[in-house]
Structure 1
Amino acid sequence: MIKLWMMTSLQLAELFVSSIVHLLYGFYIFSSAVAGDISQTLNDYLFKSNVAFGETGQNQTNVEGLPPIVLVHGIFGFGKGRLGGLSYFGGAEKKDERVLVPDLGSLTSIYDRARELFYYLKGGVVDFGEEHSEACGHSRFGRRYEQGQYPEWDEDHPIHFVGHSAGAQVVRVLQQMLADQAFEGFEETNENWVLSVTSLSGAFNGTTRTYLDGMRTDDGVSMKPICLLQLCRIGVIMYDWLDISWLKTYYNFGFDHFNISWKKTGVRGLVDCLMGNAGPFASGDWILPDLTIQGSTSINSNLQTFPNTYYFSYATKRTRRVMGMTIPSGVLGIHPMLFLRVFQMSQWKFPQDVSPPYKGYRDEDWQENDGALNTISMTHPRLPVEHPSRFIRSDSECQTLQPGIW
């Protein structure tokens, strides 16, 4: 009894600390964006007379005829135009006008984000598909893109995609949709619309962090009753229900197609969402179930590595092996918000009373990590079947580029 009480106390303490750290970090990012915008506005107002006419602060190096590069953000990410002047990709979109950074739902499912990415590029009203929309309880149609960012996109005008974290899986799902001609009104799509896929710490095979944050290990879909993700769920529902326009201009979780706003659902709709009877968290149509090992395996079972596309992946870790144990690589080189998770993930063990997520699962394979994803998940798609790959430790080992292999 005493042991159980101590374990519960430690878990609640860890939940409290994690909640405070994440909340403060989110507030820091948001306030930095607001402060940056205010500073820029004042600077433009006070010193605009000193700026030479026609001068530009961007370094545009567009080369005619080269395909665009589309950067796809990960979970809790944002695209160009959100969070003021902040850039998810370190200002890459300001270096070259060929670099596109779409703003996709930061917490919406892999499927929904892939659908939105297509219409962001081609233009039109986002169509999530009738069957999917009915099953998940949201509107079939979403945002309207009056003008696509690359309307000429086709097999003769392919695109380079770069995905970070969950963004890499979004690109893979999009390519499969193109191969399956899954977009109504666009019957000529195929996998060759994608010239290359580059993954930066990509979430190909899931992450054990989802379980630490609150996803249940037995199904990989539902959440524990008391966990960090439950607090996140409540916060997101309230944010979308309040529907404060200037706040959502700065940051949007991407659930507008669920019609959670008080203007459409009223107080009863809020209660239904909070009780788990409606909304994305009730249907499971959000990002976290897609990032569990079970969820990623399910997605991967329908995805191919195509023979004419070039695939690259960059894996990261913030751990090292010492005397047979995996531990964080150091204090100074790890972001404070991630240090605890690096340690927890390096010591992760799948519960013995739960069936492992796949045949041949071993805890030690999943211990190397960067605090968000396990390194084994970043190299290439492995589950449920392993895709062609070649491991390269340094650029000197690179040979002639070969399509169809990671």
Structure 2
Amino acid sequence: MSALQLAELSVSTVVHILYALYIFSSAVAGDLTLTLSESIFKPKTTIQVKQIDQASTAEVNDLPPIVLVHGIFGFGKGRLGGLSYFAGAEKKDERVLVPDLGSLTSVHDRARELFYYLKGGLVDYGEEHSKACGHSQFGRFYEKGEYQEWDEDHPIHFVGHSAGAQVVRVLQQILSDKMFKGYENTNENWVLSLTSLSGALNGTTRAYLDGIQPEDGKSLKTISLLQICKLGVIMYDWLDIPWLKSYYNFGFDHFNMSRKKTGLRGLVDCLLGNAGPFSSSADWILPDLSIQETMRLNARLQTFPNTFYFSYATKRTRKPLDIMTVPSGVMGIHPLLFIRVLQMSQWRFPRHLPLPYKGYRDEDWQDNDGALNTISMTHPRIPVEHPNLIVCSDSDCLPLQPGIWYYKIVEADHIMFVVNRERAGVEFDLIYDSIFERCRKHVFRKSPQTLPNEAHH
């Protein structure tokens, strides 16, 4: 490794650690402020009798829920205190669910967790998969599913950010293949719509910059950002500090890495790659984001004829005089992502290796948002391109047709529409308002839905 590469690794590591500490401390500070304000300005206890509009409540309960699925390093409701991964977007509709899935677990494991979060019961990762990957077959127990009536007649809208979009695609395929034991009636029509927000639909070249070997798209480089991440995650899970893990969890409990179960020997095995998610099974999220592994995954994922698909592909690059792709500016890109925007725009697949797929061209993958390549976010395109249509305005694609990926290019970096609402400004409201309006007014199979408080004619 050259001195320049070592310096870049050091800077990237420091920036990522500082950002993680910023998020964590912001969550803690927010919780402390809320607790103090409640204790100091404790409201007087009063008894109020409220009249419940049962008709309005029934209408809300009849609406299909909109499920927001977080991406890598993300979190759902109940983690990091009162902090919202989707920056409060869930408050824009009366029927929104925000599940907390493993932040670094594989796409397959997260899809399984999402199913049981909605239906309830003991998470079953699948016997064959669990044996192959060396973890427990069963995970968390959901005493009560958030949408137990979920079926073909009560389908769901999904919105997935980053890797969350691919999680929903895998879930829909598992539903179609009827792979959930005890649920023989599942099918692809349980998913009414999928909106991909900066979705990882075809992998990313950033995986290689962060430390995935381009030779196989799975293993890690000896010295890389992901090796440092791996070390931190293993220590975090091995120490198994209850209050800390209840606040934030990487989702690897089913690998049983805790010191209480494995002792010092278990720690050594995980660090050496003999056990855990970072072993040869590579059962975690980053390998799933390489172009090679995504292509293998996409080979069995379908675009279904009765489901509506919409995608927002983000980019923070430009090509002045059509000469070279560069970051579109300094001010509009988050400090966490600026270096990666530049690196991804200049990255080249190693010439001594076979190209990841037939027809691959470096220039097609240069536009990016600092985490994903724009070409990857529009629609599934490798190994086979799925039906798609680019739109400039949301009204251009009305009435919506199922089985087609409508996509829109948006000037934004990868985290513009999550965590910090103020960064996106009015764009935040425009994006989420259009998503929720589409779900409620333009996506339906039988007849238009009746919205709460909507006048009946």
TM-score category, normalised to shorter length: over 0.9
Which of 318, 326, 331 is residue 316 of structure 2 equivalent to?
318
1:92–1:99 contact (8 Å) kept in structure 2:
no
Which of 22, 28, 39 is residue 22 of structure 2 equivalent to?
28
Instruction: Tell me which residue corresponds to 2:349.
Output: 350
1:19–1:228 contact (8 Å) kept in structure 2:
yes
The alpha carbon displacement at 1:187 in A equals 0.3
Give the letter aligned to residue 141 of structure 1.
F
Instruction: Tell me which residue corresponds to 1:48.
Output: 42
The alpha carbon displacement at 1:398 in A equals 2.3
**Structure 1, residues 148-184: CA drift from partner, whole Å, max 9, x if none?**
0000000000000000000000000000000000000
The alpha carbon displacement at 1:321 in A equals 1.0
Give the letter aligned to residue 39 of structure 2.
Y
The alpha carbon displacement at 1:98 in A equals 1.3
Instruction: Tell me which residue corresponds to 2:303.
Output: 305
The alpha carbon displacement at 1:400 in A equals 1.4
Unaligned runs of 5+ in 1: 1-6
Matched residue SS, 1:281: coil
**Structure 1, residues 289-321: CA drift from partner, whole Å, max 9, x if none?**
000000110110010000000000011100011
**Structure 1, residues 178-228: CA drift from partner, whole Å, max 9, x if none?**
000000000000000000000001000000000000001110000100000
Unaligned runs of 5+ in 2: 51-55, 406-457
Among all aligned residue pairs of Structure 1 and Structure 2, give the percentage whose two residues are the same amino acid: 75
State how 1:3-402 maps to structure 2 within 5 Å. 8-49=2-43, 63-282=60-279, 283-323=281-321, 324-402=323-401
The alpha carbon displacement at 1:325 in A equals 1.0
> How many equivalent pairs are there?
397
The alpha carbon displacement at 1:395 in A equals 2.4
1:116–1:126 contact (8 Å) kept in structure 2:
yes
The alpha carbon displacement at 1:52 in A equals 6.7
**Cα distance change, pair 297–55 in 1 and its aligned pair in 2 (3 A):** farther
The alpha carbon displacement at 1:54 in A equals 6.2
Give the letter aligned to residue 259 of structure 1.
N
TM-score (norm 1): 0.95
**Structure 1, residues 67-91: CA drift from partner, whole Å, max 9, x if none?**
0000000000000000011000111
Matched residue SS, 2:388: coil
**Structure 1, residues 251-272: CA drift from partner, whole Å, max 9, x if none?**
1000000000000000000000
1:342–1:369 contact (8 Å) kept in structure 2:
yes
In structure 1, how many angstroms separate the alpha carbons of the residues matched to 2:102 and 2:347? 29
2:345–2:368 contact (8 Å) kept in structure 1:
yes
Give the letter aligned to residue 312 of structure 2.
Y
Matched residue SS, 1:49: coil
**Structure 1, residues 321-357: CA drift from partner, whole Å, max 9, x if none?**
1122111000000001100000000111111011111
After superposition, the CA RMSD in angstroms is: 1.6
Give the letter aligned to residue 12 of structure 1.
L
2:60–2:94 contact (8 Å) kept in structure 1:
no
